[in-house]
A and B are shown apart, each in its own frame.
Chain A
Amino acid sequence: MRFLGFLLRRVVGIAAVMIGVSVITFAISHVIPADPVAAALGDHATDAQIAQFRAEYGLDRPLPEQYLIYATGILHGDLGKSIRTRRSVADDLADSFPATLELSFAALLISIVLGVPAGVWSAVARGRLPDYIVRVLSLAGGSLPVFWLGLIVIGLFYYQLGWFPGGGRIDTFVPPPPTRTGLYVLDSILAGDLDALRSSLVHLVLPAVTLGYFSTAVIARMTRSSMLEVLGQDYMRTALAKGLREPVIVLRHALRNALIPTVTIIGLTFGSLLSGAVLTETIFSWPGLGRYATASAVSLDFPAVLGVTLLAAIVYPLANLVVDVVYYWLDPRIQHG
């Protein structure tokens, strides 16, 4: 029961966040001086076309009324029509979101797989060469701009060495797997299509590494500091005194405790990966949400921008909810606290 109450409080919180986000985004996008009609219809539009456009998108109505229409639409699952693509925003999001989700999952996977061991290694080898290497790489990961890193990665691994493809989700001449989830890797496995699986995995590597480098650095640093803290505890000395071997102490006793703060960071990271995908997607021609958001923002396509914002507003707290649940389950003190 205690857990259900905990879950319920979180879900109500998410709903409140969504209402807040929709009101604020809607207000901001409608009070900025730029005119979406001028952006959509361009230089040549006649006054009659402009008036017709305003009427079609309800832009000729008072702002509160526009919001009411919009909010009612959302409750019916209708996110409005994109000014740029002239399609339903929900359809556009359904097209581009899986690509971003796949990229973010891959980036997260890379950050966990590289970040956690690097942090452990660095803590265990504190003050020695491996520690310095990990710390320098983490510092670089936290400070290199994604755009620059992406171009360097493409320049080196695609252009110079030719080890990986330079962009896109799948090889030009490999047909994508039939859509079930929209995640190419998963869809290829479901369809048993090995060509598509190999191609989509290879295409994931460079963008996922680029996108995941920052979070790898964050996870490595967090793991290192919490490992150092745990390794200094009395029970570590006890374990050592009992004659346990070092790998067992580090991996079984220290890591388990040190991972709790790392899990929190992973949740936060996932949300930021989704929003940080904008530049990565542009550089790697990745047909995801980030690129959709950029294109929409540039053309002042407010319904689309609102749709993306709302989606982010759902995903971010959801990721944190998952972390909270894991946390709740990992750390008994929360259950009783």
Chain B
Amino acid sequence: MSYRRSPILFVIALLVAAACTQPPPSGASSTPQATGGAASTLVWYADTSDLISLDPAVAYEFTGVLLAHNAYETLVKFEGADLSTIKPALAQSWEIKDSGSQWDLTFKLRSGAKFASGNAITADDVVYSFQRVLKLNKSPAFLFTDIAQIKDTSIKASDASTVVISLPKTASPQGFLSVLTFTIGSVVDSKDVKAKESAGDSGSGYLLDHSSGSGAFVIDHWTKNSEVQLKANPNYTGSPKPALGGVLVKHVPESTNQQFALEKGDADIARNLGSQQITALQGKPGVVTTTGNSLQLVYVGMNVTVKPLDNVNVREALRTAIDYDGIVKDLFKGGAKKVQDIVPAGLAGYNESTPFQADVNKAKALLQQAGQSAITLELLVPTGPAPGGVAWADLAAKLQSDWKNIGVTVNIKQTTQADLLGTYRAQKGQLVMILWGPDFPDPDANVGPFTDYAAKSIAFRNGWDDKTIAAKGHDAALITDSAKRAAAYKEITDYVLHNGPYVVLYQPTEPFGLRSNVKGFVWSPMDWTDFAAISK
């Protein structure tokens, strides 16, 4: 074996020679790209391991939803970070009519709207798209079937530019409009998708990694586990027109790597920075950091089937003892907002009241009223980092020490989230710390699960069966007048604040790192951004 004469040497020489050559700066792309090259391409670094499909009827994960949102238009939308007012999108106007036995929602389509293919958008495309969601029945379909309670026959085109959707009287029309702002309400190009159908798959094989919509961008390619490239849609009829030629979403799971790439200028925006990276980026030239709101809430559920948590004063004492300001300011350092009701800031129905803050005497008095002095409980906690970047275990330790001040001993039991959910769902937890994000941007998406025992969601998991408040929640969902609806939710959230089995700890914010030449970036609490509004 004469290794000196091996052809391996040639390969090594090649490798070394190539290694010694400096890679050209990203700006000097040697190959022309569909998007116009580096100068007009936004490079977005993120952990995209959740990506399973780009099909708007299938995607229900952060990355898939972010991309589908930019490749498709919906009938109505929320603009920027404001989720309180529904705005026109493909529908230039809409009307909610109480037809006695049902709600009829009539949408008038914007004239001149076109798909990326150049095909005109008609009411038939809307009907096809929504029926396709029902037919495929994938993860997000429950928003149509359970929340809006619509069927195939509920969606009709009354003429080429008018769509009528009927909901049963038990569904909330306001809630349905909110659902329609989500990617599940995307309108696909029915002529194009029908042509790409294979074996009755409604085109889901094609739309897995292609787009067929009318959004500001189209999907250029998706290289699995590596990147998704979007390029500007030249036929886009909405506004604003995309300032960029393209967006490249790169899968980079390591947050330190994201930080380095941002500083070096290889990334324009970094999506998954922890508090360590955000601190490291402060004052670095060419980089700015910002935050976006999220609709998640981190809370502790108190199972009222476990004594003494059945006593409302004990629950109030546990809420009263916690140092919320310490959690938000010292632990999360700006990665969280103090919110104590069950509807997050940013949604209609949010209740600004925050009556609790580490009042040891009051908490002890409440325990005394309940006839309790020494309580021992188990606190179930997930593993890993909590939203906002602090480890769940550290947050649990903070609660443990706050509760110790009032004589409540808490034993922390840490387990994987999947395992924890199993226990929680089976109503077998005592204190369970976990997060919740609404399924659609409407107060009903939180008030329902948090108050309605029969929905077998959060109220059920904590054994809290309060039929009066559940009924009020149902009624509030159906109110069409915004002011009256807000008043109804104020009453409900005030009640839950002091009577419910929840300690709402905080609402997390999302940190981002940006190159300082990136302009127009706004993060929506829907977990997406409009790439069209961004320039660099």
Q: Is A318 an interface residue (CB 8 A)?
A: no
CA distance A175 to B251 in the complex (A): 16
Known A-B contacts A43-B434, A285-B251; A199 and B225 likewise in contact (beta carbons under 8 Å)? no
Contacts of B21 in A (CB 8 A): 198, 202
Contacts A49-B142, A86-B52; A175 near B15 (Cβ below 8 A): no
User: What interface size band does chain B fall in?
Assistant: 35 or more
The answer to the question of A276 belonging to the interface, with a C-beta cut-off of 8 Å to chain B, is no
Contact yes or no, A167 B252, CB < 8 A: yes
Complex contacts, A87 vs chain B, CB 8 Å:
52
> Is B456 a contact of A330 with CB atoms below 8 Å?
no
Query: Provided the pairs A168-B226, A287-B224 are in contact, do residues A44 and B30 lie with their beta carbons within 8 angstroms?
Result: no
Mark out the residues of chain B between 226 and 279 whose CB falls within 8 Å of any chain A CB in the assembled complex: 226, 248, 250-254, 256-257, 260-261, 263-264, 266
| Bound Cα distance from A106 to B15, whole angstroms | 10
A47 to B426, CA, bound (A): 11
**A159 pairs with B418, CB closer than 8 A:** no
Minimum C-beta distance from A233 to chain B (A): 18
**From residue 209 to 236 of chain B, which have CB atoms closer than 8 A to chain A?**
223-226
Closest to B415 in A: A34
Cross-chain contact of A33 among B12, B29, B225, B419 (Cβ < 8 A):
B419
Stretch at the interface among A18-26, A150-158, A213-221, A306-314: A150-158
Q: Are B31 and A175 in contact (CB under 8 A)?
A: yes
Q: Which of A137-178 contact B (CB under 8 A)?
A: 151, 154-155, 158-159, 162-169, 171-176
Interface membership of B11, Cβ < 8 A: yes
Residues of A close to B251: CB separation below 8 A: 285, 287
Q: In the complex, which of the residues A43, A172, A176, A291 contacts B436, with contact meaning CB atoms closer than 8 Å?
A: A43
Instruction: Confirm or deny: B18 has a beta carbon within 8 angstroms of a beta carbon on chain A.
Output: yes
A282 touching B19, Cβ below 8 Å? no
Contact B250 A35 (CB under 8 A): no
Whether A158 touches B260, Cβ cut-off 8 Å, given contacts A47-B456, A172-B26, is yes
Q: Are A35 and B226 interface neighbours, CB within 8 A?
A: no
Complex contacts, B250 vs chain A, CB 8 Å:
168, 172, 285
Interface residues in A34-73 by Cβ distance below 8 A to B read: 34-36, 38-39, 41-44, 46-47, 49
Please tell me if the beta carbons of A85 and B38 are within 8 angstroms of each other in the complex: no
Alpha-carbon distance between A309 and B444 when the two chains are bound, in angstroms: 44
CB-CB < 8 A to B23: which residues of A? 164-165, 171, 198-199, 202
Find out whether the CB atom of B31 lies under 8 angstroms from the CB atom of A174.
Answer: yes
- Binary contact track A283-298/B, C-beta < 8 Å → 1, others 0: 1110110011001000
Say whether B418 contacts A35, CB under 8 Å.
yes
Q: Are B263 and A159 in contact (CB under 8 A)?
A: yes
Mask of A162-206 contacts with B, CB within 8 angstroms, 1/0: 111111110111111000000000000000000101110110110
Docked-complex contact B264 and A166, CB < 8 angstroms: yes
Residues in B neighbouring A205, C-beta threshold 8 A: 15, 19
Flag whether A133 is at the interface (Cβ < 8 A): no
Q: Which of B52-86 contact A (CB under 8 A)?
A: 52-53
Q: In whole angstroms, what is the CA distance A188 to B11 when docked?
A: 14
Asked if B421 is at the interface (CB within 8 A of a chain A CB), the reply is yes
Contact B260 A154 (CB under 8 A): yes
Minimum C-beta distance from B64 to chain A (A)? 11
Give the number of residues in A that approach B within 8 Å (Cβ atoms).
Answer: 69
Smallest CB–CB gap between B4 and chain A, Å? 7
CA distance A275 to B399 in the complex (A): 40
For A42, give the chain B residue with the smallest CB separation.
B421
| B interface footprint on A100-118 (CB within 8 Å = 1, 0 otherwise) | 0000001001001100100
The docked-state distance in angstroms from the alpha carbon of A165 to that of B417 is 35
Complex Cα–Cα for A164 and B252 (A): 16
Asked if A230 is at the interface (CB within 8 A of a chain B CB), the reply is no
A151 to B277, CA, bound (A): 14
Residues from chain A with a CB closer than 8 A to the CB of B146 are: 46
Question: Complex Cα distance A197/B499, Å?
Answer: 66
Decide: A96 near B225, CB < 8 A? Known: A38-B418, A174-B31: yes
Q: Which of B1-49 contact A (CB under 8 A)?
A: 1-4, 8, 11-12, 14-15, 18-19, 21-24, 26, 29-31, 33, 37-38, 41, 43, 49
Nearest residue (CB) in A for B37 is A173
Contacts A34-B416, A173-B38 given; does A291 touch B31 at CB 8 Å: no
Whether, in the assembled complex, B439 has its beta carbon less than 8 Å from a beta carbon of chain A, the answer is yes
Q: Please, how many angstroms separate the alpha-carbon atoms of A47 and B261 in the complex? A: 44
B1 touches A330 (CB 8 A): yes
Write out the residue numbers on chain A whose beta carbons fall within 8 Å of the beta carbon of B536. Answer: none
User: A95 an interface residue at 8 Å Cβ cutoff?
Assistant: yes
Q: With both chains docked as a complex, state the minimum distance between the C-beta of B274 and any C-beta of chain A, in angstroms.
A: 14
Nearest chain-B residue to A174 (Cβ)? B31
Q: Is the CB of A95 within 8 A of B224?
A: yes
Choose among A34, A106, A155, A259 the residue that contacts B418 (Cβ–Cβ < 8 A): A34
Q: Are B53 and A46 closer than 8 Å at their CB atoms?
A: no
* A251 interface residue (CB < 8 Å to B): yes
* B residues near A38, Cβ cutoff 8 Å: 418-419, 421-422, 425
Neighbouring B residues of A85 by C-beta, 8 Å = 52
Supply 18 further A-B pairs (C-beta < 8 A) apart from A39-B416, A154-B257.
Answer: A36-B418, A39-B418, A109-B8, A165-B23, A165-B266, A168-B226, A173-B31, A174-B29, A175-B33, A176-B223, A195-B31, A201-B15, A202-B23, A204-B15, A259-B3, A285-B254, A288-B225, A292-B225
Name 7 A/B residue pairs within 8 A (Cβ), A-sorted. A39-B416, A92-B224, A151-B256, A159-B260, A159-B263, A287-B223, A287-B225
List residues of chain B with CB under 8 Å of any chain A CB: 1-4, 8, 11-12, 14-15, 18-19, 21-24, 26, 29-31, 33, 37-38, 41, 43, 49, 52-53, 139, 142, 146, 223-226, 248, 250-254, 256-257, 260-261, 263-264, 266, 416-419, 421-422, 425, 434, 436, 439, 456-457
Q: A-side interface residues toward B, CB under 8 Å?
A: 33-36, 38-39, 41-44, 46-47, 49, 84-87, 92, 95-96, 99, 106, 109, 112-113, 116, 151, 154-155, 158-159, 162-169, 171-176, 195, 197-199, 201-202, 204-205, 251-252, 255-256, 259, 282-285, 287-288, 291-292, 295, 300, 330
